[in-house]
Amino acid sequence: MSTEVDEDPRRVLVLGGARSGKSAFAESVLSTRVAVQYVATAPAVDDDPEWIARVAEHRARRPPTWSTLESRDLATVCRASDAGAALIDSITAWLTATLDTHRAWQDDPGWRLRVASDVTDLTDAWSGSGRTLVAVSDEVGSGIVPESAAGRMFRDELGSLNQRLAAAADEVWLVTAGIPCRLR
């Protein structure tokens, strides 16, 4: 089984479970590039020491020549064709924030249409992007069925989004126990 990434893929989706090594693998895909825009989609949390340590671990792995952009506007990131390569970490955090914004957890009327619009905007931008993009997302459908309705909704929404991104990706990888396996 080969773990070599094509010489210059345009869109790479890296999937895996929690602490699977997916982010480290995604970083390795772009390791030969001097300038990479690392797009952090999770909010900064100043009062959570464990989260602060995770962020520091991620930052320590990245070359000093990489820039960091904290943004949830992934469609704009994907459309910035003159900006060089970007690593998006993570689609999971982006979807969580999108569901928060549209009050999906509270079952606000119309949330599904608003989320679907944002997802379509992202997947259209991903599909049509002229820049090299590597996106990290959690693979959440391999475990037990979540007990809560919110957990099942999140699993379903992320599973659907991952499928749409994978359909337009040049390469799709699954990382399990630190071992990358090319799916496409």
- Catalytic residue check, 58: yes
**Which 8-state DSSP code applies to residue 104?**
G
Name the β-bridge partners of 182.
Answer: 173
Phi and psi at residue 182, to the nearest 5°? -75, 125
Place of tokens 């929690």: 18
Could you tell me if 136 and 91 are in contact, meaning their C-beta atoms sit under 8 angstroms apart?
A: yes
Place of tokens 């797009």: 39
- The catalytically annotated residue of 58, 62, 79, 103 is 58
Total Cβ atoms within 10 A of residue 173: 23
By annotation, the residues acting in catalysis are 58
